[in-house]
Amino acid sequence: MRKPIDDFPILAPQADGRRLIYLDNGATTQKPAQVLDAVERYYRSENANPHRGVYQLAMLATDAHENARHTVAQFLGAPDEELIFTQNTSEALNLVAYSYGRAFLKPGDEVLLYVAEHHSNLVPWQWVAKTTGATLKYLYPDENGRLTPEELDRKITPNTKIVGVAHVSNVLGLEVPVAEIVRRAHAVGAVVVLDCAQSVAHMPVDVKALDVDFAAMSGHKIYAPMGVGALYGKKELLEKMPPFLAGGDMIAAVHEQRTTYAEVPWKFEAGTRNVGGEVGLAAAIEYVQQLGWDTIMRQEEALIAQALDGMAKLPYVRVYGAASAAGRHGVISFNIEDVHPHDVATILDNDNVCIRAGHHCAQPLMEYLGIGSCCRASFALYNTAEDVEALLRGLGRVREVMGLGS
Ligand SMILES: Cc1ncc(COP(=O)(O)O)c(C=O)c1O
């Protein structure tokens, strides 16, 4: 029977019979032939600059761009007009910080972030807090890596204006309680910015059901090309926000001394778009939808449970966050006693097993956990039980290779 892994050319067995065991999906995912073909088809037969020409080819490109918007918007449960194409999650989050944050924050206001935030949802807020006089505050997890209602009650105050959280932390791999956060934030008039970079590839995300005010994602973490991402924003907020970047296509009319802007979402899309990437993102979403969330989630949960069980048998492996598979999506971060994460990753690489080692762009969380760095194995819909076995076999050898005994 054909398996998902067969759709991914980079994961096919090589001449020596070995294949890549790719467990760095939290950083970026591999691309199925369906996505590669869609991008190639677009550039072979439909490429022109969207929203510019009136000739037929330009119309095809415009349709490709807007149809892709529709697919991404539907995927997130949003109307098309609330879906802005960006380069990636980072640009989407910078857009919110620069446009919404700079326009509406003032001294005394508080921006509340989860200490587990990726730098992309943290550094922009540091900059904006500095220029507006707002204060940055942090939410902290409990000893199991969970964000508790008590912590939310302690930190969300009438001064809170923005709550920024990753739906799933790229280190802890745990889903945050979005409903609890949104209810408390909205009760004090704050907006919620949800970083969905790590969640969209692992579970359904419905921004309307979640009632978040903004949500950001990257295409490359869900089997699409690099260089395309999206920001969802509630229309009433997007309309009162100033543009983020200026240039072609985001204007209604330009005069020597003043400019009026296009309607949303185009007001936030300055310059020529990455239509090939957008087409690839739409194809990736269709690919995921064809497999279905039930299948994907069941498979990934089984892999995570298998990996956690195996790690629990290795006494020198320390896993960060709760050691159960429940509420964990895609990611397991860990360290091996007395071995630097870079050594672990290099030793595994000898067996063609790719994992990430480092601070994972989440240095405040590393500080909070009292570590400089860690290893991370992260899973995707094409990973198999054999991949996890290879990971565990490799981890079982690391200390021996380092001369530390087993
Ligand atoms: C939780 C989270 N947020 C944001 C990002 C940034 O994504 P990008 O580099 O695609 O902008 C990442 C990337 O790893 C992430 O894991």
Smallest CA separation from ligand 1 atom 16, residue: 170
Determine whether the shortest distance from the Cβ of 72 to ligand 1 is under 6 A: no
- Statement: residue 69 has pLDDT above 80: yes
Q: Is 281 a member of any domain?
A: yes
Determine whether the shortest distance from the Cβ of 202 to ligand 1 is under 6 A: no
Q: What is the dihedral sign for C-alpha 150, 155, 160, 165?
A: negative
Instruction: Specify the pLDDT at position 47.
Output: 97
Out of 288, 310, 328, a domain closes at 288
Claim to verify: residue 254 and residue 321 sit in the same structural domain = no
- Could you list the residue range(s) of the whole structural domain that residue 117 is in? 46-288
Claim to verify: residue 268 and residue 281 sit in the same structural domain = yes
Claim to verify: residue 65 and residue 195 sit in the same structural domain = yes
Smallest CA separation from ligand 1 atom 14, residue: 27
Which ranges in 114-224 belong to alpha helices (H)?
A: 123-132, 149-155, 178-187, 207-210
Determine whether the shortest distance from the Cβ of 29 to ligand 1 is under 6 A: no
Instruction: Mark whether 361 is an active-site residue.
Output: yes
Claim to verify: residue 311 and residue 230 sit in the same structural domain = no
Claim to verify: residue 114 and residue 19 sit in the same structural domain = no
Number of separate domains in the chain: 2
Claim to verify: residue 328 and residue 216 sit in the same structural domain = no
Reported confidence tier of residue 52, pLDDT bands at 50, 70, 90: confident
Out of 288, 313, 337, a domain closes at 288
Mean of the per-residue pLDDT values of the chain: 96
Out of 258, 288, 318, a domain closes at 288
pLDDT tens readout for residues 82-131? 999 999 999 999 999 999 999 999 999 999 999 999 999 999 999 999 99
Which ranges in 30-114 belong to alpha helices (H)?
A: 33-45, 56-76, 89-95, 102-104
Dihedral class, residue 95 (left if φ above 0, else alpha if ψ from -120 to 50, else beta): alpha
Cα of 118 vs centre of ligand 1, distance in Å, is 6
Determine whether the shortest distance from the Cβ of 94 to ligand 1 is under 6 A: no
Claim to verify: residue 216 and residue 339 sit in the same structural domain = no
Claim to verify: residue 112 and residue 193 sit in the same structural domain = yes
pLDDT tens readout for residues 137-161? 999 999 888 999 999 999 999 999 9
Instruction: Specify the pLDDT at position 247.
Output: 92
Cα of 79 vs centre of ligand 1, distance in Å, is 24
